């Protein structure tokens, strides 16, 4: 069944888009990632113009993240205090990121920068998570092994200490602010919610428990992507509501399933899966940069004359 | 003096021996929610005052349909330090979003190169690029044509026009699903021996209608409200799904 999208100006298969939305929704619910780094390339493949794909996927992420967040709120796995601190940093960061993005765009090569930062960040984050979670899984299987005591990172020595009750942390507000800020910058440059950077940063830099991390990440993602959606709608008019509705319909159902699956799995298993997923996307992008493309030319259509 | 002017005028506007009378199966295409392409039948007849000249070669018909023109930037990738990056770019002043050429016979038999240049018939000639004088610009234009031909929006259909008894002609054109709004200029050219005998131009209007039109205008004219509506729908859908699933679980 075909549907003509009013803003994207292409005709798409309804079930294909529903399926894409559902797939990304499952991942969103399981891992607390918005899925922007997956849905956008998938929409390119489905023939949606890049500008519309980027803008519309942020709107879809709002819906699937909200659906997943409600699931986490019911289980009380959202640290609102931490989320608010991260968000404060994140909004400042995305503002800075947009300025940086436009500065780079004026100098060309913005595509290359986006792809390179994807490869570098996905590669590092994925590899770190994979090694760490495999180690954790091996240790937990070994009988008689004592649980390791919570490490004291350098971040614990900073001033402005705050109590994050849900995470069971009493740390300075400065590290979460900085994490939020840098994720905000990345999010604006790479056009994603930033969950795939945020989740590992919360686990490894802030020392938050994995179960709380996902809900808290979702909480922050909703606000960042809502902000980006508005920005795209107002400046470029590239949010396609018909496309978004199809993605949302698939996505909200997927997110609910994903939350259920996530709740039944071990934290280490979840992290290994997310690490593998991140590495796969990274590998795909790296290949695209290194292999000779079949078409050396590309067209960037301008505004209608 | 007046007599000379009349003679010059008569020379400048020779009486056309053969003229086109055109019909279109439709001169409007409405893009609805379920739009997935459209077929248009272009047909017509050749009216002549005198019998066709025998020595000028057989009559041929060319039909072109062109979408709205827009500028485009063509970028070329090169390998630098092991990775493929955009190095050079070329700006095409105006390239049609859609371009189809249908003829009665192979292009080189139907139209001479000079006539093609004058009337801008074949696809590369239909693209306006002032910077064509820059060395190597041709490769960018041919890359543009190649990419759009692969995407199915530029087409050359040689032999797709039926011509009967040098009088009645018709061709069917299928417009793709990824159609851009605008006026689609339709041209019919009659040629003999590679030279254009007569040409005729008309417009097919392509427009979004109904909900497609409404949403598009909404997004363009009230962008902030449209953005808020999109967010409201997203939040409502997320909440609805969560409630529905919570209920289903119990």
Residue B149 makes CB contacts below 8 A (sequence gap 6+) with B123, B155, B156
pLDDT (0 to 100) of residue A119: 81
Residues B238, A289: C-beta atoms closer than 8 Å: no
**ipTM score above 0.85:** no
Taking only residues 105 to 164 of chain A, the set having a beta carbon closer than 8 angstroms to any beta carbon of chain B reads: 108-109, 111-112
- Chain B: residue whose CA lies nearest to A4: B33
Supply B179's token pair. 């159609």
Q: If you measure CA to CA, which chain A residue comes closest to B73?
A: A300
Q: What is the pLDDT of residue A140?
A: 72
- C-alpha A263/C-alpha A127 separation (Å) is 24
Handedness of CA B88, B90, B91, B95 (dihedral sign): negative
Q: Which of A232, A248, A300 sits opposite B237 (nearest CB)?
A: A248
Quote the tokens at residue A246.
Answer: 């199809």
By C-alpha distance, the chain B residue nearest A249 is B237
- Given this model, what pLDDT does residue A91 score? 84
Relative orientation angle of helices A50-74 and A14-31, to the nearest 10 degrees = 50
* Domain parsing of chain A, residue ranges: 2-142+152-290
Full strand arrangement of the beta sheet holding B83-96: A297-301, B69-80, B83-96
Query: Is A4 close to B212, i.e. CB distance below 8 A?
Result: yes
Torsion of CA A167, A170, A175, A176, to 10 degrees: 30
Chain A contact for B237, CB < 8 A? Answer: yes
Helix (H, G, I), strand (E, B) or coil at B67: coil
Selection from A9, A282, A277, A239 nearest residue A123 by Cα: A282
Give pLDDT, residue B39. Answer: 84
Please report, in tens digits, the pLDDT of each residue of chain A (305 residues total).
778 888 877 888 889 988 988 888 888 777 766 677 778 777 877 778 777 887 888 888 888 788 878 878 888 888 888 888 888 888 888 778 877 777 776 655 666 777 777 788 778 878 887 887 788 778 777 655 444 445 555 556 666 777 777 777 777 778 888 888 888 887 777 666 677 778 778 887 788 887 788 888 888 888 888 887 888 788 778 888 889 888 888 887 887 788 788 788 777 777 788 888 888 878 887 887 777 777 777 776 643 33
User: Does any CB of chain A come closer than 8 Å to the CB of residue B229?
Assistant: yes
Q: Output the pLDDT for position A151.
A: 53
Structure tokens at A248: 């949302």
Phi-psi region of B24 (alpha: psi -120 to 50; beta: other; left: phi over 0): beta
Domain ranges across chain B: 17-207, 209-250
**Measured between CB atoms, does B225 come within 8 Å of chain A?**
no
- Contact call for B70 and A10, based on CB within 8 A: no
As averages over each run of 10 residues, the pLDDT of chain B (250 residues) reads: 52 61 79 80 84 76 88 80 77 84 87 83 75 66 85 85 86 84 88 85 85 84 87 88 71
Q: Distance (Å, rounded) from C-alpha A247 to C-alpha A40?
A: 11
**C-beta of residue A262 within 8 angstroms of C-beta of residue A30:** yes
Residues 6+ apart with CB under 8 A from B34: A2, A3, A4
Quote the pLDDT of residue A305: 31
Which pLDDT score, from 0 to 100, does residue B150 have?
A: 85
Q: Is-contact A59 A148, C-beta < 8 A?
A: no
Measured distance between the N- and C-terminal CA atoms of chain A, rounded to whole angstroms: 33
Contact A153, A143 (CB under 8 A): no
CATH (one of 2.60.40.10, 3.90.1200.10, 2.30.30.100, 2.50.20.10) for B17-207: 2.60.40.10
Partner-chain contact B36 A303, CB within 8 Å: no
Looking at residue A220, what is its pLDDT? Answer: 85
Question: How far apart, in whole angstroms, are the C-alpha atoms of residue A244 and residue B239?
Answer: 16
- Residues of chain A with C-beta less than 8 angstroms from the C-beta of B32: 4
């Amino acid at each position: 069944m075909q549907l003509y999208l009013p803003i994207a100006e292409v005709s798409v298969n309804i079930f294909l888009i529903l399926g894409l939305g559902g797939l990304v929704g499952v991942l969103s619910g399981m891992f607390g990632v918005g899925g922007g780094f997956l849905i956008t390339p998938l929409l390119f493949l489905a023939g949606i113009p890049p500008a519309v794909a980027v803008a519309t996927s942020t709107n879809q992420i709002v819906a699937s993240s909200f659906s997943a967040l409600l699931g986490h709120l019911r289980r009380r796995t959202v640290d609102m205090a931490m989320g608010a601190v991260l968000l404060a940093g994140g909004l400042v960061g995305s503002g800075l990121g947009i300025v940086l993005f436009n500065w780079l765009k004026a100098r060309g090569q913005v595509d290359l920068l986006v792809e390179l930062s994807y490869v570098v960040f996905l590669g590092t984050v994925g590899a770190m998570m994979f090694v760490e979670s495999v180690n954790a899984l091996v240790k937990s299987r070994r009988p008689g092994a004592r649980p390791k005591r919570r490490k004291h990172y350098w971040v614990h020595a900073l001033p402005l200490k705050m109590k994050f009750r849900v995470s069971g942390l009493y740390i300075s507000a400065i590290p979460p602010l900085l994490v939020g800020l840098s994720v905000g910058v990345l999010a604006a440059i790479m056009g994603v919610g930033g969950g795939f950077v945020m989740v590992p940063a919360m686990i490894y830099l802030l020392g938050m428990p994995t179960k709380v991390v996902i809900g808290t990440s979702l909480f922050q993602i909703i606000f960042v992507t809502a902000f980006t959606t508005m920005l795209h709608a107002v400046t470029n008019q590239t949010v396609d509501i018909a496309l978004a509705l199809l993605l949302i319909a698939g996505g909200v159902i997927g997110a609910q399933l994903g939350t259920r699956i996530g709740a039944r799995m071990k934290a280490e298993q979840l992290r290994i899966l997310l690490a593998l997923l991140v590495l796969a996307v990274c590998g795909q992008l790296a290949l695209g940069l290194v292999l000779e493309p079949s078409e050396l030319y590309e067209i960037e259509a301008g505004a209608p004359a | 003096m007046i007599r000379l002017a009349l003679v010059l005028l008569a020379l400048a506007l020779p009486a056309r021996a053969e003229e086109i009378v055109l019909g279109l199966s439709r001169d409007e295409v409405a893009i609805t929610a379920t739009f997935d392409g459209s077929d248009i039948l272009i047909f017509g007849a050749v009216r002549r005052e005198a019998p066709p000249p025998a020595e000028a070669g057989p009559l041929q018909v060319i039909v072109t349909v062109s979408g709205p023109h827009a500028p485009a930037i063509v970028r070329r990738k090169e390998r630098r330090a092991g990775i493929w990056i955009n190095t050079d770019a070329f700006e095409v002043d105006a390239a049609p979003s859609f371009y189809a050429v249908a003829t009665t016979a192979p292009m080189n038999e139907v139209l001479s190169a000079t006539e093609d240049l004058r009337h801008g018939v074949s696809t590369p000639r239909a693209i306006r690029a002032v910077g064509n004088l820059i060395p190597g610009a041709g490769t960018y234009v041919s890359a543009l044509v190649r990419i759009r031909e692969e995407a199915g929006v530029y087409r050359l259909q040689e032999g797709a026009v039926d011509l009967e008894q040098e009088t009645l002609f018709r061709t069917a054109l299928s417009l793709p699903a990824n159609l851009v709004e605008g006026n689609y200029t339709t041209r019919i050219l009659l040629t003999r021996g590679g030279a254009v005998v007569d040409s005729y131009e008309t417009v097919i209007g392509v427009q979004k209608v109904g909900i497609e039109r409404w949403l598009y205008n909404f997004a363009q004219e009230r962008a902030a409200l449209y953005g808020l509506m999109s967010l409201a729908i997203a939040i409502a859908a997320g909440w609805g799904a969560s409630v529905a699933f919570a209920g289903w679980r119990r």
